[in-house]
């Protein structure tokens, strides 16, 4: 009999890109999957143990980091245990019988619109209305059944929710990939871990960021990503989320972390996990 902690938590609905990433990452087919309408609800379910793992998008190759997720992870107490990169194609879809000339209102997650903004510049008559997720948008349009409404989502969502592809792929980049984090409420040791995500806060003084980044250079560690986020109630001060290649059991990594402790106000490890190198092809 399954327990609650064996369940997976996924953002959106079946047919969402997050669900595709989840299916690709987890080989177990008998896990219970719970879907959540917001990032905050999903992270909360992981933190309280309602689900064992959660998966949510963190970065797109065309539009950059998803700031809400960075902010949630930083304060959640959850840990990153894996990542998955997924090639993403966005499509405009409507109810059977609708044509592209019928469409006046389009629903999607803001990322769907951002990744397809060139298409909507060419179709100014279409009003872009943010919705919870791409799959939820497809579900909504299908249930409403109105020819003047469409959704931006993936092909799988069109099949699941009975919609017709009207245009696509409409994403502006021909190589459009989204990176997802797998998170857990407990710290885990991941076999073969070679990537670290951490978050720093720095003194508000000249050279503080230079000194912190210099720790990675001196230790010979490859910095993969740096994302800055504002510190609440500290105007023009920032947290820095950093991805770097390495394993926490490596003595060289340990030396870098010791140096960071001396050159930052705070330094917290969010996770050490295996990098996904195959999703962008």
CA dihedral of 88, 89, 92, 93, whole degrees rounded to 10: -80
Contacts of 209 (CB under 8 A, 6+ apart): 202, 240
Choosing from 11, 180, 239, 240, the catalytic residue is 180
Beta bridge partners of 226: 242
Q: Which CATH superfamily is domain 195-273 in?
A: ACT domain (3.30.70.260)
Q: In the predicted model, is pLDDT for residue 2 greater than 90?
A: no
Phi, psi of 256 (to 5 degrees): -65, -40
91-167 shares its CATH topology with 195-273: no
More confident residue, 186 or 278: 186
| pLDDT average, residue stretch 243-258 | 96
- Per the annotation, the verdict on 180 as an active-site residue is yes
Q: In the predicted model, is pLDDT for residue 120 greater than 70?
A: yes
Ordered DSSP codes for 176-216: -EEEEEEEESS--PPTT--EEEEEEE--SSTTHHHHHHHHH
| pLDDT average, residue stretch 111-128 | 96
- Per the annotation, the verdict on 81 as an active-site residue is no
CATH code 3.40.190.10 for 4-87+176-184: yes
Contact (Cβ atoms closer than 8 angstroms) between residue 177 and residue 171: no
Residue in the structure block whose two tokens are 């409507």: 94
Choosing from 18, 63, 81, 178, the catalytic residue is 178
Q: Cβ–Cβ contacts within 10 Å for residue 174, how many?
A: 8
- Domain-by-domain residue ranges, the chain? 4-87+176-184, 91-167, 195-273
The fold for domain 91-167 equals D-Maltodextrin-Binding Protein; domain 2 (3.40.190)
pLDDT class for 29, splitting at 50, 70, 90? low
Residue 49 CA to residue 198 CA, distance in Å, equals: 23
């Amino acid at each position: 009999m399954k327990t609650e902690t064996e369940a997976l938590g996924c953002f959106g609905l079946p047919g969402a890109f997050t669900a595709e990433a989840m299916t690709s990452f987890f080989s177990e087919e008998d896990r219970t999957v719970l879907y959540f309408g917001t990032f905050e609800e999903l992270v909360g379910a992981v933190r309280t143990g309602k689900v064992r793992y959660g998966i949510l998008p963190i970065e797109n190759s065309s539009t950059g980091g998803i700031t809400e997720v960075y902010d949630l992870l930083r304060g959640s107490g959850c840990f990153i245990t894996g990542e998955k990169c997924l090639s993403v194609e966005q499509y405009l879809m409507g109810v059977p019988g609708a044509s592209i000339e019928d469409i006046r209102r389009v629903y999607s997650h803001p990322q769907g619109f951002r990744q397809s903004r060139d298409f909507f510049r060419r179709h100014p008559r279409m009003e872009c209305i943010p919705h919870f997720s791409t799959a939820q948008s497809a579900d909504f349009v299908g249930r409403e059944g109105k020819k003047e409404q469409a959704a931006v989502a993936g092909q799988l969502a069109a099949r699941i929710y009975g919609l017709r592809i009207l245009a696509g792929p409409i994403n502006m980049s021909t190589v459009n990939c989204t990176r997802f984090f797998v998170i857990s409420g407990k710290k885990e040791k991941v076999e073969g871990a070679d990537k670290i995500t951490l978050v720093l806060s720095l003194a508000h003084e000249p050279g503080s960021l230079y000194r912190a980044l210099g720790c990675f250079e001196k230790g010979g560690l490859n910095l993969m990503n740096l994302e800055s986020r504002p510190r609440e109630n500290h105007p023009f001060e920032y947290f820095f989320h950093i991805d770097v290649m390495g394993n926490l059991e490596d003595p060289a990594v340990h030396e870098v972390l010791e140096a960071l402790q001396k050159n930052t106000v705070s330094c917290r490890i969010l996770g050490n996990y295996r990098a996904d190198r195959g999703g962008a092809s």
